Amino acid sequence: MKRIIVVMAGLLLLAALAFSPSGPALFAAQSNQQASGTPTPAPEAEATATPVAEEDAAAAAADESEAEPTLADLSARIETLEATVAELHAAHEAAHAATYDDVNSVNVAIYLLDAAGMHELETRLVSEGEILPGDSGQVGQIARVLSTVAWPEELAADATALQEMLANLSAALADDDLETVQPLSTEAHVAYHVFSHNAQMWIAEASAAEMAAAPGQSNRVNTALYLLDGAGLHGIAERLSEDEEILPGDSGQVGQVARLLSTVDWPEELTADAAALHETLVDLAAALADDDLETATALADAAHDAQHDFSHAAQAWLSAGAMDAHHDDMSHDDMDHSDMDHEDTDHGDMDHSDTENQDEAPAEHTHDG
Encode the chain (369 residues) as per-residue pLDDT tens digits. 555 555 455 555 555 444 444 544 444 445 444 444 455 555 554 555 566 566 666 666 555 556 677 888 788 888 888 888 776 655 545 445 689 999 999 999 999 999 999 999 999 999 999 999 999 999 999 999 999 999 999 999 999 999 999 999 999 999 999 999 999 999 999 999 999 999 999 999 998 888 888 888 999 999 999 999 999 999 999 999 999 999 999 999 999 999 999 999 999 999 999 999 999 999 999 999 999 999 999 999 999 999 999 999 999 999 988 655 545 554 544 444 444 444 444 444 444 444 434 443 333 333 333
The sign of the dihedral angle between the CA atoms of 196, 198, 202, 208 is positive
Q: What is the pLDDT of residue 349?
A: 43
- What's the pLDDT at 209? 82
Count of Cβ atoms closer than 10 Å to residue 187 Cβ: 15
Q: Locate the domains of the chain by residue range.
A: 96-212, 219-323
pLDDT on residue 82: 84
Angstrom CA distances, 159 to 43, 154, 325, 337, stand at: 98, 10, 37, 52
The pLDDT, as a whole number, for residue 86 is 73
DSSP secondary structure string for all residues of 64-129: HHSPPPPHHHHHHHHHHHHHHHHHHHHHHHHHHPPBHHHHHHHHHHHHHHHTT-HHHHHHIIIII-
Phi-psi region of 263 (alpha: psi -120 to 50; beta: other; left: phi over 0): alpha
Nearest to 273 by CA among 234, 237, 225, 241: 225
pLDDT score of 159 = 97
Distance, in Å, from the CA atom of 255 to the CA atom of 298, rounded to the nearest integer, reads: 17
Distances (CA, A) of 74 to 63, 84, 87, 217, 297: 19, 15, 20, 49, 62
Alpha carbons 14 and 34: distance in angstroms, whole number: 18
| Alpha carbons 329 and 76: distance in angstroms, whole number | 58
> Which pLDDT belongs to residue 98?
84
167 near 140, Cβ under 8 Å? Answer: yes
Work out the end-to-end distance of the chain between its first and last CA atoms, rounded to an integer number of angstroms.
173
229 contact partners, CB below 8 Å, separation of at least 6 = 307, 311
User: Collapsing DSSP states into helix, strand and coil, what is residue 212?
Assistant: strand
The predicted structure's pLDDT at residue 123: 95
